[in-house]
Amino acid sequence: MRFAGNVIWFVLGGWYIALIWLLGAALFALSIVGIPLTIAALQMASLSAWPFGRDVVHIRELDDRGLTATTAVTGTIGFIVNVIWACTFGWVLFLAYLFAGVLCCLTLIGIPFGLQAFKLAGISFWPVGRRVVPLEVANLARNENAKTKLAKYRGATA
């Protein structure tokens, strides 16, 4: 089912929005400061073209050692680069996904595609510090983080 959804998504316009991500990646690759954005934009372009069966998680959710905000993409530099992205390509992508989501949700068959578009709209503003992973990995990472947080609330060590 994922494969069929991805093929339909790609043929009906997923490739078109992925081109905006690729354009942003190419422009930001020209500067040293834009390298984190280039990497994030390339991953998001791949997700934009083939969204079914994959999800986006923050790199802190994938960190199995409990380190938080120790890399440049989650610290101040990551924040600044994300703000630059949101002011340049982020709002364009947000509007494109929003428009695509509304169009898809006009039909009953298009609702799953509309939901994917709305998910991608939320990600389009803040891509740096996120990784595209298979859906199973994202769920596992979230479950492990939830267990760790629950243990902390109970006063036990993880």
pLDDT digits (tens, 9 = 90+) for 44-99: 999 989 999 999 888 877 765 544 444 545 677 778 888 888 898 889 999 999 99
Query: Could you tell me the two tokens for 66?
Result: 């409990």
By CB atoms closer than 10 A (0-12, 13-18, 19+), residue 153 is: exposed
Considering the entire predicted model, what is its pTM? 0.77
pLDDT digits (tens, 9 = 90+) for 9-49: 888 888 888 898 899 899 989 988 788 888 888 999 999 89
Concatenated DSSP letters of 14-44: IHHHHHHHHHHHHHHTTSSTTHHHHHHHHHH
